[in-house]
A and B are shown apart, each in its own frame.
Chain A
Amino acid sequence: EDQVTQSPEALRLQEGESSSLNCSYTVSGLRGLFWYRQDPGKGPEFLFTLYSAGEEKEKERLKATLTKKESFLHITAPKPEDSATYLCAVQSLSGGSYIPTFGRGTSLIVHP
């Protein structure tokens, strides 16, 4: 059974204080690892897809990296508008199915 663990559960930063969120996973046959952002009362918004170890992707102040066991979402010089819950999900070939598995998320608050 696929497992996804995100840490920390909650993170408070000052504006401009860079940090990283962690997503550890256990899957058989990774087909993709996804990062989403979710604002309160909204659905998840797609950020990145990573397909293989060593891959990196960037978007504005966010950079996602992937190893064989974990992914990091690095936030550089965050702003208050980066406050949200960040979700990690994996999709793997498990028993012939492609059921995506989400972590519980990291709640990020950036103070001005």
Chain B
Amino acid sequence: DAGVTQSPTHLIKTRGQQVTLRCSPKSGHDTVSWYQQALGQGPQFIFQYYEEEERQRGNFPDRFSGHQFPNYSSELNVNALLLGDSALYLCASSLFGQGSNQPQHFGDGTRLSIL
């Protein structure tokens, strides 16, 4: 039973560039959430996708956008990268969509470094 998979595992970009991160949810899950985890901090919620729509959003600027595909996989896009965007980006999947209080299953993340 494949868990949540994310790609790439590591990425180095420069300020002003754009980046796309990818996530495949755990088999049977229909909801994908994205988090940003800075060093020494807890994960911070970016947004959640269910039925190919953004359902909930945390306190992140519009530079952060996403997409969910019919097979439930998802992408996170970040434009105009800033040094402060350097972090571990985590994808989590769960069942039952918006409003669910079911536990989330996390991938191992993409480590994004901005130079």
A45 at the binding interface (Cβ < 8 Å): yes
The 6 closest A-B pairs by CB, nearest first: A43-B106, A102-B42, A32-B101, A31-B101, A46-B103, A43-B108
A101 at the binding interface (Cβ < 8 Å): yes
B99 touches A98 (CB 8 A): yes
- Measured CB to CB, the nearest residue on chain A to B111 is A41
Find chain A residues with CB under 8 A from B45 CB: 99-102
B43 touches A99 (CB 8 A): no
Find chain A residues with CB under 8 A from B58 CB: 99
Find chain B residues with CB under 8 A from A4 CB: 42
A45 to B100, CA, bound (A): 18
B107 at the binding interface (Cβ < 8 Å): yes
Kindly supply a per-residue 1/0 record for chain A positions 50-88, scoring 1 wherever the CB is within 8 Å of any chain B CB and 0 otherwise: 010000000000000000000000000000000000010
A87 touches B4 (CB 8 A): no
Please tell me the size bucket of the interface on B. Answer: 20 to 34
Find chain B residues with CB under 8 A from A32 CB: 101
Interface of A is mostly: strand
B98 at the binding interface (Cβ < 8 Å): yes
Task: Looking at the assembled complex, report how far the CB atom of B93 sits from the nearest CB atom of chain A, in whole angstroms.
Answer: 11
B105 at the binding interface (Cβ < 8 Å): yes
B56 touches A87 (CB 8 A): no
Known contacts A99-B56, A103-B42; is-contact A44 B100 (Cβ 8 Å): no
A102 touches B56 (CB 8 A): no
Kindly supply a per-residue 1/0 record for chain A positions 100-112, scoring 1 wherever the CB is within 8 Å of any chain B CB and 0 otherwise: 1111110000000
Find chain A residues with CB under 8 A from B28 CB: none
B43 touches A98 (CB 8 A): no
Task: Looking at the assembled complex, report how far the CB atom of A34 sits from the nearest CB atom of chain B, in whole angstroms.
Answer: 6
B90 at the binding interface (Cβ < 8 Å): yes
A22 at the binding interface (Cβ < 8 Å): no
A99 to B100, CA, bound (A): 10
